[in-house]
Amino acid sequence: MPGGLPTTGTRVIKMAEGMFRGIIKPLIPFNCIFDTDFGLIQLISQEYRNRDIFNIDYIDSLKTNYDLLYVLYHRNTYNPLIPFMNNPEDIDLAEDLYIQFIEKEYENMVARSIHTGLYNLIGSMRNTEEIITTICYSNDIEKHVFANDTLLSKIRSINIDNIVEYLSYIDQYYFKATEDLYFYLSCKTLKSNSVYILDYDFNFENKEKGILKQSREIGVALANRCVINIIGAFDKRTIH
């Protein structure tokens, strides 16, 4: 099962957060709670050691989980394969391989994944009466993980495809990237909400200035008067 490694220290680092009154109702998707990219590179290291495509020596040089996490957290591209390929400029191959891994090996990726800092954040939220958390999944593999996790099995979970039915339960949205499946499917429900983007380097045009990469999803959120926030994906002590 996924889990382990850095889980604490989540914090907002940029932009207005707003003042909250009454009950806070965040929606947090699977890919914000588990870093499946970590699981993918672990899978390649263990079972897909193709030296014609991947720089296996570089992967092997990352001696600890923290070393691998550092590379993934600071990468500039959404596709996690690119930093580990012999030819990182072959974007078409990287995209094709990434899709194949998702389609054929997602369960094995998930099994090797680690918690992000939002896992512990959810635990803290659960102990606060003023916060009612909802988590969401996109397929049966993710649903199974939620159902069998000691903490997450106690949290309301929904299929992201049914998000419209749960609007009354949501006023905050968390997303892994400026454009991903969960953000795309949530666009139809965004209206004057707080939106939190995880602070992976690939989400920024300029991280020091807090300038996010623009996307259709970001545009929709801003057009619908949402406040965009940036939140730490991991405890900074584990990735620096």
pLDDT, tens digit (0-9, with 9 covering 90-100), for 45-73: 999 999 999 999 999 999 999 999 999 99
- Give the per-residue pLDDT at 240: 64
With beta carbons less than 8 A apart as the criterion, state whether 7 and 233 touch. no
Residue ranges, comma separated, of all CATH 3.40.50.720 domains in the chain are 12-35+115-238
Share of the chain above pLDDT 70, in %: 91
Residues 182, 165: Cα–Cα separation, whole Å: 15
Per-residue model confidence as pLDDT tens digits over 148-170: 999 999 999 999 999 999 999 99
Number of Cα atoms under 13 Å in the Cβ half of residue 23: 9
DSSP 172: E
Q: Which residues of 153-189 are buried (b: 16+ CB within 10 A; e: fewer)?
A: eebebbbbeebeebeebbbbbbbbbbbbebbebbbee
Write down the pLDDT at residue 20: 41
Domain 12-35+115-238 = CATH 3.40.50.2300: no
Would you call 37 helix, strand, or coil by DSSP?
helix
- Backbone φ and ψ of 30, nearest 5°: -55, -45
Contact in structure between 142 and 110 (CB atoms under 8 Å)? yes
Where the chain has pLDDT below 70, the residues are: 1-21, 240
